[in-house]
Structure 1
């Protein structure tokens, strides 16, 4: 709240140094004046100077105390107690601005440093309004005789004598008001008293803002610590074994493997088709091991060019290549003490495979442009949807790196090979997205569930999750999901119905999967990338399936 006078350049309150200089000048003047000594006025002047000096020393002590207090409530009490002492008044009030920039009572005390009850919160609002209007301190020695206020109802009711009201300014904004008064005492306020109280108010404003900022910082740190703890708990709950849905024999074996290897830093290679949950397994390993409180850093090795990937993994020195404007730590350094998850490891270029092998063997890396090795302590978990054995045979993946990564292999079977997991997964995703969309109580019909179980799911768990979310979003007010809410799957069911009953479920699902891929390619004019997006699988995964089924693209 900036006043007109503020904006025009109101005279600043005198500083403590200025007032001290005046006191020293007074003392020198007294010492040098023989006439004063002889006139007998020395004692009176010395008393005034000593009183001024005493108040200045009090101001210095008070300011020192204010600057050492960061607790806002304690600080506000100190401010009011101090102003009562400096002004020699009976009671004091401190009002601060709220979020709506209105003044509200914050602290009320008497000269015995006791808090006043709310029924005693009676002040002269006319004096407060005048101080706010002028934007400067208001000092009144006897309000009952002051022509400006002697007829004001509040002054008469309170029988006010001394009254002081000082705006607390932060820059040009009023952040509060100090108000102090006396009803039984009349204090003769000298210019020095006014200067001292004004100087005190300036220091008090700074101290209040510092305490507020400190309080906000402490609160921010507490909130951050609480959110961090909640996030860790959430991550721990999300990636414990109860957070991974699956009751098939294959998944139970994977859970058992995770439980056995999580406590150690053993390198793990997770293999499985796109959408099977490889990253979920990696997170479960990390969050159930001793590195859970350290970072888990994830990078997709197939998502960037070789040059950028090397810099991202191992870091670089400033000036080592165009655009390297500063030194940068790589993800191996960032993850030191924790875990790095190398997704799509099969897409890593061969030159980088050599450097990764060295990092695994030596537990050290070299930043791009540096010769000095840097030690790192990282658990490595890698994942791929490729057949790395086949890649080793055709020499696109290094044999030595494969064996270094494949210390503990985890193979996640595709969803079509563990159909018993589809029902619990469906129930889990149904509950998750019904809660998000505020559609609690929604069910799925048995015929719709049969459709889901019978579908081949080329995109695996991710495709199932997307299908449930899509059906919930498009079902309107329906309380039951039916087959018609999964139109993209009904075509698959039609294909299944026309198959030879002598075929096994696995054989039937392969036929359906092949037909779905053919349909996607026809819809996209044979464009593999667009067909992969339509099926929610990676381009490489779709390419492998086209090759497996001998489909002409």
Structure 2
């Protein structure tokens, strides 16, 4: 039944009340209808209605039962009973939505007058057993909304007479109004929730855009970073391909984002793709798209990221990991500005600025024959070399302060400070995982320290304290062999990673480990983001 049909049923019940002299009830019904229009808050509105209906119909108990669709149960959110202890017990009761007279009315949508529940085979006595009530007679009407029946309203045991058809007509009209109020209130609540969510998204986007429009996430006051900032300023206005070289964790993607969001393409998309994390077959589809039926699972046409980034910027992260075949396809995009989706023969033209990033020396890869020279010169039109953190240790105190502020805000902690000793230990460590590793270390320290507590060396991980621990403990024997071995292993891996400029594959080969084993060790010792 639609909401208009519900309204017609309600109007019919009102006419019946008028013909049969229910002026007092009609007055209350209009009063209740006015209350529907004045109040949106169900927790204010419905207890009033339940209490008024019990008083007007001279019933022992009145209750609203709503459907919990997920659990398929009926429950009692609003109750008015002459005995307050019964109200408290009923508020705890739930029962299957297909049980009892209430369940029948919920399922069939037809109001019921039951003068003697003991003679009705639909009667479910579980509520009486749990609440301490003793039900003899019952009125029950469905709450029918535009989306279906959402519950019922019940009245039990008329105090000084028997329930009549006039009582049922009134309850049916009242139930129609309650159902409309519930539907409107739920819609209003959803709109408010959607509005709140949209407001929150706007705030997040405003913060993100504000962050993108400045170099705020790139912190450094030393000469090395000053040179990077200078190059970035030039790259913003120069419409050329940019190659960002630097070890893992130095902030290459942050630099690419800053160049994009400060440049003339800022209103276009910025699309990063990690070339080293995707197999060649999948990478081709990811970059250039595919036609329906091009391979198993290609159920529809799909645009690649070059088309998605049209009018904006694409970041080819870890471009040095691409295969020779993929390098040829990338060269075609850079030379002609065209892509060919997998399974297609028709080229599509794109207008995309390409920024590339790598943690290896592409010039060396060219000399070794692992990277095409012509592609290298296309990508390297505007090179930016990002120094490792160990080469700009003068920036560590500034970075530590910036990351600490960001982390405490993220964790909802009060702002913390650094003890001079802890800050000195941060500055003396070589950080093979660079800024990313430093950020991880600070997150760990904030998690370990109490809110408002100054961060001390004891809050830092063992890798920062291992030298001090080993030297101070050897003579006393307080350091176990296992602990000393782990300390040595962490330092040794960190130095190897540093020697190979943060390249995990090269470090693993040098240490005689598989790449997966090295990743586990890096994660265990928090040398690099896992």
Mapped partners of 2:245, 2:455: distance in 1? 36
Instruction: Find 2:495's aligned residue among 485, 497, 517.
Output: 517
Q: Which moved more, 1:82-91 or 1:424-433?
A: 82-91
Residue 479 of structure 1, CA deviation? 3.3
CA distance in 2, matches of 1:215, 1:378: 44
What is the Cα deviation at residue 123 of structure 1? 6.4
Q: Deviations over 1:171-219 (max 9, x none)?
A: 4433789xxxxxxxxxxx99xxx79x979986x7886677566545644
Partners in 2 of 1:443 and 1:232 — Cα distance? 29
- The number of equivalent residue pairs is 403
Paired with 2:273 and 2:393, the residues of 1 have a C-alpha distance of: 30
Q: Structure 1: any 5+ residue segments left out of the alignment?
A: 1-12, 16-61, 68-78, 107-119, 140-163, 178-188, 497-511, 542-553
Distance 1:130 1:223, change over 3 A: closer
The DSSP-based 3-state class of the residue aligned with 1:241 is coil
Q: TM-score, normalised by structure 2?
A: 0.61
Q: 1:481 aligns with which of 440, 456, 459?
A: 456
Q: 2:255 aligns with which of 281, 285, 289?
A: 281
Alignment of 1:215-234 (within 5 A): 215=188, 218-219=191-192, 221-234=194-207
Q: 1:519 to 1:428 in 2, by over 3 A?
A: closer
1:385 aligns with 2:354: no
Aligned to 1:298: 272
1:313 aligns with 2:301: no
Name the CA shift for 1:439/1:481 in 2 (closer, same or farther; >3 Å).
Answer: farther
Tell me if 1:236 matches 2:179. no
Distance 2:4 2:194 in 1: 28
CA contact (8 A) 1:103 1:176 kept: no
* Maintained 8 Å contact 2:63/2:153: no
Match of 2:333 in 1: 359
Q: What secondary structure does 2:276 align onto? A: coil
**Compared CA separation, residues 272 and 484, structure 1 to 2 (3 A):** same
1:402-434 Cα shifts (integer Å, max 9, x gaps): 222223222111111111111111122233334
CA distance in 2, matches of 1:355, 1:206: 62
Work out whether residues 444 and 482 of structure 1, in 8 Å CA contact, stay in contact via their aligned partners in 2.
Answer: no
The structure whose Rg is larger is 1
C-alpha distance in 1 between matches for 2:464 and 2:63 = 76
Counterparts of 1:121-520 in structure 2 under 5 Å? 124=56, 126=58, 168-170=143-145, 171-174=148-151, 211=184, 215=188, 218-219=191-192, 221-239=194-212, 240-262=214-236, 266-436=240-410, 440=414, 442-474=416-448, 479-482=454-457, 485-491=460-466, 516-517=494-495
| Cα contact 2:228–2:384 (8 A) shared by 1 | yes
Q: Higher mean Cα deviation, 366-375 or 125-134? A: 125-134
Q: TM-score, normalised by structure 1?
A: 0.58
